């Protein structure tokens, strides 16, 4: 008020009227709405919405006559409204006012006027839409013609490029087909070779497993004979220990027969059973030790089954035969770099003195070991080797077998 901003004051009262209407206080809403209306009238800012708002407030307060008066005044103000947008609002308000008054004839007349305005507006909107569609069609038609011309130009350019590249593509396809047939031919040859190699490996594997399954029949016969002798002589405890070692050895051989690798702990168990039987058979003619590197995990590191037994058998059956002192067999497992070193060391007669007895057996053991190394390691790109050395000399005697294989963890 101090600034003389009548329009701002009018908006304030208008907001106040809306709040009263929303809080179901129509009488107070009429007061605020009248003030709003008078301010607009004073500042010559009256418009159809002001008439509509005031008339609507009267309806909410149950004063249809006053509402009808302001709706009609609003219609008079909107006589130049070509679209009839605001006039239609006043007619709809008149419908509610006449209904409240019970003058249904006048309400019907107001509804008819509102319908005519909506119909006229609908036709006008449809006419505008038709005009817009025609304009859009003409525009799209022109755009389509432009696109067609552009496509023709691009097609002509493509044809020219295709003509330039036709010979090159033909040559490229020819070279591609030639390369394909050459590669295909090579792959077929490789497949054939791989099949042959696989067949050979399978054959070696079968031979290996058959060799593993075979245990010296002479040893089995002697073991059973020794067991019978112990039982017959009444050595019950000793015969039980003997039977336990013998059954453990046979069970280990049968269980390990189908495996390519076993834990070192299993191999040591089989060796203990085998050597224990031989010690009982030869009445303590030799002692033995098994030494394991502290860094070696017996339950995680793997080796081929029955790898050491043939060389242990050679040492006992041939190295310790016909010696006048007690034999000593030392089996050791050591780690060096990324390799596992296994040694079978005896103080027997050596290779030279027992060459006649050992040549056939030693040769067979070495052949089997070589084939197994080829199958299990060399064919897979891994290195494995072994050597058999005669220690016979002034101060030393016997044979040292050294096997070097990759460390394989479970």
DSSP 17-51: HHHHHHTT-HHHHHHHHHHHHHHHHHTT---HHHH
Higher pLDDT, 280 or 203: 280
pLDDT of 107 strictly over 80? yes
Report the predicted TM-score, pTM, of the whole model to 2 decimal places: 0.50
Confidence at residue 327, expressed as pLDDT on a 0 to 100 scale: 93
pLDDT of 299 strictly over 70? yes
Confidence at residue 213, expressed as pLDDT on a 0 to 100 scale: 44
Confidence at residue 291, expressed as pLDDT on a 0 to 100 scale: 96
199, two tokens? 């067949």
Rounded CA-CA distance 311/329 in Å is 11
**66-75, 88-97, 119-128, 364-373: least confidently modelled range:** 119-128
Containing 340, the helix (H) or strand (E) segment is strand 339-346
Q: What residue ranges define each of the domains in the chain, with the CATH number in brackets?
A: 6-102 (1.25.40.10), 214-409 (3.30.565.10)
User: Phi-psi region for residue 194, left (φ > 0), alpha (ψ -120 to 50) or beta?
Assistant: alpha
Higher pLDDT, 47 or 108: 108
> How many percent of the chain have pLDDT more than 90?
19
Higher pLDDT, 203 or 185: 185
Confidence at residue 385, expressed as pLDDT on a 0 to 100 scale: 93
pLDDT of 80 strictly over 80? no
Decide: 222 and 281 in contact? Cβ < 8 Å: yes
Stretch 225-242: mean pLDDT, rounded? 75
Q: 63-67, 197-201, 341-345, 372-376: which has the highest mean pLDDT?
A: 341-345
């Amino acid at each position: 008020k101090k600034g003389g901003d009548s329009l701002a004051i009018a908006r304030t009262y208008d907001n106040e009227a809306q709040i009263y209407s929303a809080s179901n206080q129509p009488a107070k809403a009429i007061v605020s709405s009248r003030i709003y209306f008078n301010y607009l009238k004073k500042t010559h800012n009256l418009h159809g919405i002001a008439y509509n708002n005031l008339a609507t407030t009267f309806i909410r307060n149950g004063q249809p006559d006053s509402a009808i008066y302001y709706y009609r005044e609003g219609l008079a103000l909107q006589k130049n409204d070509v679209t009839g947008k605001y006039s239609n609002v006043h007619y709809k308000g008149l419908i509610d006012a006449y209904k409240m008054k019970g003058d249904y004839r006048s309400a019907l007349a107001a509804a008819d006027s509102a319908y005519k305005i909506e119909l006229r507006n609908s036709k006008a909107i449809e006419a505008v839409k038709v005009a817009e569609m025609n304009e859009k069609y003409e525009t799209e038609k022109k755009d389509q013609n432009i696109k067609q011309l552009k496509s023709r130009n691009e097609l002509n350019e493509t044809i020219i490029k295709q003509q330039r590249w036709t010979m090159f593509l033909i040559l490229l396809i020819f070279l591609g087909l030639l390369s394909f047939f050459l590669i295909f031919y090579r792959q077929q040859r490789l497949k054939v070779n791989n099949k042959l190699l696989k067949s050979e490996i399978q054959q070696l594997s079968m031979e290996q497993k058959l060799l593993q399954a075979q245990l010296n029949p002479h040893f089995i016969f002697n073991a059973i004979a020794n067991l019978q002798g112990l039982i017959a002589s009444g050595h019950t405890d000793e015969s039980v220990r003997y039977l336990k070692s013998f059954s453990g050895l046979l069970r280990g051989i049968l269980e390990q027969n189908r495996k390519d690798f076993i834990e070192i702990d299993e191999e040591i168990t089989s060796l203990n059973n085998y050597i224990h039987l031989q010690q009982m058979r030869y009445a303590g003619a030799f002692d033995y030790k098994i030494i394991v590197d502290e860094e070696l995990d017996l339950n995680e590191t793997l080796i081929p089954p029955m790898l050491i037994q043939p060389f242990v058998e050679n040492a006992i059956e041939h190295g310790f035969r016909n010696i006048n002192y007690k034999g000593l067999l030392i089996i050791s497992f050591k780690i060096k770099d990324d390799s596992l070193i296994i040694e079978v060391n005896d103080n027997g007669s050596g290779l030279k003195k027992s060459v006649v007895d050992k040549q056939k057996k030693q040769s067979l053991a070495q052949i089997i070991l070589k084939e197994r190394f080829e199958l299990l390691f060399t064919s897979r790109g891994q290195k494995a080797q072994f050597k058999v050395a005669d220690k016979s000399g002034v101060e030393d005697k016997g044979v040292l077998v050294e096997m070097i294989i990759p460390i394989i963890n479970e």
